[in-house]
Structure 1
Amino acid sequence: MLPELRETGNLTQVAERLNVSQPAVSKVLAKAEATLGVSLLRRDERPVKLTSEGELLAEFAEQRIGMETLLVRRLNVIRKRGAGLVRIASFGASSSTRILPPLLKRMRQRLPEIEIEIVELTDQDASRAVKEGLVDFATLAGGNDVDLDYFPLAKDRLVALVPEGSPLSGKVSVTPEDLAKKEFIMTKGGSEPLVRDWFRGAGVQPNVRHTALQLTSILAMVRAGFGLSVVAEMAVPENHPEVTIVPLDPVKQREIFLCRPVGSFASHAAERFWNVLT
């Protein structure tokens, strides 16, 4: 009711939309105000406007309507024979831009009746979401959790990001000792443990002066001369002006998997998706 009133500013029009009488609308609003102890309408204005409290409730109502609409849509899909919804947690740019798109394109051709929904999360949140059953599958780097089944998707490697034109940008590869001499921007994404392990293997520590979660932020800081960084190669966009990608020596690789909880599937759609994939 409040969303309609915010849109029309007219109680009569709201009543017509809801197919009830205007006194009924007024009675519901008055009862709500009495229960909440706040005014929901500014009745002295034309068209009628909502108070701040009314706006808050209207926003809540719209969100609830949206969730109900989504629920009905999903249930309708599930009712179709062989159909259903598969939810996949993606851990970031590497997965969302390079790995999942071609995979999902193939799966949609094989299983056109199944709806696929991608939820982008951090590595830690993606792992927790799949273990707690909030999603059916998750893309994760590494495959050593006994509570999960793994299907290999891709191999990736760490690379250095250096400003274009810097002395390191012309090298065939860079070592931990090369980067340890410079100011360093540490990624706070899922590659951080691998980055630190790469430095640790050479017995040196990076001179971490900045930290960033988003790759776009890291690229901007490298471009501006705030330091160098090491990230997963697949996470780097095709267009990265004024920033040069340099391989590492020694090479540091990681494998990307699609994973699911060990045991039964949460839905028939998820089981079909996994069986076709594997």
Structure 2
Amino acid sequence: MFDALPQLALRLLPLVARLGNLSEAARALDVSQPAASKAIVRAEEMCGLALVVRGRRPLALTAEGRILAEHAERQEELARLTARRLDDCRAKGDGVVRIASFGASASTHILPQIVGAVARRYGRLQIEITENTDQPTLQALHDGSVDFATIVETEDPDLELLHLKQDHLVALVRSGDALARRGALDARALADVPFIMTKGGSEPLVRAWFARAGAEPKIRHSIQQITSILALVRAGMGVSVIAETAVPETHEGVSVKPLEPSFPRTICLARRAGGFSSHAAEIVWRMAAEQALGR
């Protein structure tokens, strides 16, 4: 019902209540007095109720007119609030952006730079990061529960990819081990000793690297946390292969060795093809692209 009422009448009623004069209310809105009077009459006809008390000076609203005036004021305040929120979204990046990370490589070495750059320019834009293994991360992106995901480069036609960083697989061996004294390690050398398989996201790549050489690791342990893998390697319980960017800055007692042949991978920020779910998401994507270009 309210949507059908003349908008001019809704704007006039609060002014009439405040000014006590229809002519002054019309002047405040830069409309003629006849137009204002006609709008009030039309609103009364549609409501089936008198909205102003006629024949009295100063002009006053009826009880029903006051109800409608209060409604109009609330709607006007809501409109101002909505406009302010949209302005904040446009100018300040107000909003929440959710990113799924496939593990330590992205969470440690890539996303902090993007989050920091966004925070410096858009202090009111919030970024929430959820870390998981590869498949749940990709599933969250396809389900729409996150805006973006860090993944290894894929041929998925439903995704748009932003290349962020090139990474390599490396071997982890105990510092006192004979393998630590060698240069690059090949699959044959690593297949002859107990192996600790990472469950943190790189497992398919590790298996592919061994398979290319026609070798297969002797898996004794399957571990998700990098710190746990390092502890087992340090204790002499096996060797492992993980992504280079996942290796912590300090890894006492563990030597990091290059692989032969090298096995590179490209870490990407991925989003579902099509439009962005919010202006905040568009900001994050744009700034991630700037970070990638400047790396």
1:212 corresponding residue in structure 2: 223
Structure whose alpha-carbon radius of gyration is higher: 2
How far does residue 164 in structure 1 lie from its aligned partner after superposition? 0.8
Describe how 1:197-236 pairs up with structure 2 within 5 A.
197-236=208-247
The structure-2 alpha-carbon separation of the partners of 1:81 and 1:189, relative to structure 1 and needing over 3 Å to count, comes to closer
Q: Secondary structure at the match of 1:238?
A: coil
Q: How far, CA to CA, are the matches of 2:114 and 2:283 in structure 1?
A: 15
1:253 corresponding residue in structure 2: 264
Q: How far, CA to CA, are the matches of 1:212 and 1:277 in structure 2?
A: 31
Describe how 1:117-266 pairs up with structure 2 within 5 A.
117-266=128-277
Q: How far, CA to CA, are the matches of 2:85 and 2:184 in structure 1?
A: 52
Q: Secondary structure at the match of 2:155?
A: coil
1:99 corresponding residue in structure 2: 110
Are the aligned partners of 1:138 and 1:259 in contact in 2 as well (CA < 8 Å)?
yes
Are the aligned partners of 1:78 and 1:85 in contact in 2 as well (CA < 8 Å)?
no
Q: Secondary structure at the match of 1:124?
A: helix
Are the aligned partners of 2:89 and 2:280 in contact in 1 as well (CA < 8 Å)?
no
Describe how 1:74-113 pairs up with structure 2 within 5 A.
80-82=88-90, 83-113=94-124
Describe how 1:55-66 pairs up with structure 2 within 5 A.
none
How far does residue 81 in structure 1 lie from its aligned partner after superposition? 3.5
Q: How far, CA to CA, are the matches of 1:232 and 1:146 in structure 2?
A: 25
Are the aligned partners of 2:102 and 2:134 in contact in 1 as well (CA < 8 Å)?
yes
How many pairs does the alignment contain?
A: 203
Q: Secondary structure at the match of 2:168?
A: strand
Are the aligned partners of 2:114 and 2:288 in contact in 1 as well (CA < 8 Å)?
no
Q: How far, CA to CA, are the matches of 1:276 and 1:138 in structure 2?
A: 15
Q: Secondary structure at the match of 2:110?
A: helix
Q: Secondary structure at the match of 1:118?
A: strand
Q: Secondary structure at the match of 1:127?
A: helix
Q: Secondary structure at the match of 1:87?
A: strand
- Give the letter for the 2:202 counterpart: S
Q: How far, CA to CA, are the matches of 2:213 and 2:261 in structure 1?
A: 9
The structure-2 alpha-carbon separation of the partners of 1:151 and 1:238, relative to structure 1 and needing over 3 Å to count, comes to same
1:15-38 Cα offsets, whole Å, 9 max, x none, are xxxxxxxxxxxxxxxxxxxxxxxx
The structure-2 alpha-carbon separation of the partners of 1:101 and 1:266, relative to structure 1 and needing over 3 Å to count, comes to same
- TM-score scaled by length of structure 1: 0.69
1:197-241 Cα offsets, whole Å, 9 max, x none, are 111111111111111111111111111111101000100101111
Q: Hey, which bits of structure 1, 4+ residues long, moved more than 6 A? A: none
Q: Secondary structure at the match of 1:231?
A: strand
Q: How far, CA to CA, are the matches of 2:238 and 2:224 in structure 1?
A: 15
Are the aligned partners of 1:130 and 1:261 in contact in 2 as well (CA < 8 Å)?
yes
Q: How far, CA to CA, are the matches of 2:239 and 2:108 in structure 1?
A: 23
How far does residue 78 in structure 1 lie from its aligned partner after superposition? 6.3
Q: How far, CA to CA, are the matches of 2:248 and 2:283 in structure 1?
A: 32
1:128-180 Cα offsets, whole Å, 9 max, x none, are 11111111111111231111110011011000000011111011111101111
1:270 corresponding residue in structure 2: 281
How far does residue 102 in structure 1 lie from its aligned partner after superposition? 1.4
The structure-2 alpha-carbon separation of the partners of 1:78 and 1:205, relative to structure 1 and needing over 3 Å to count, comes to farther
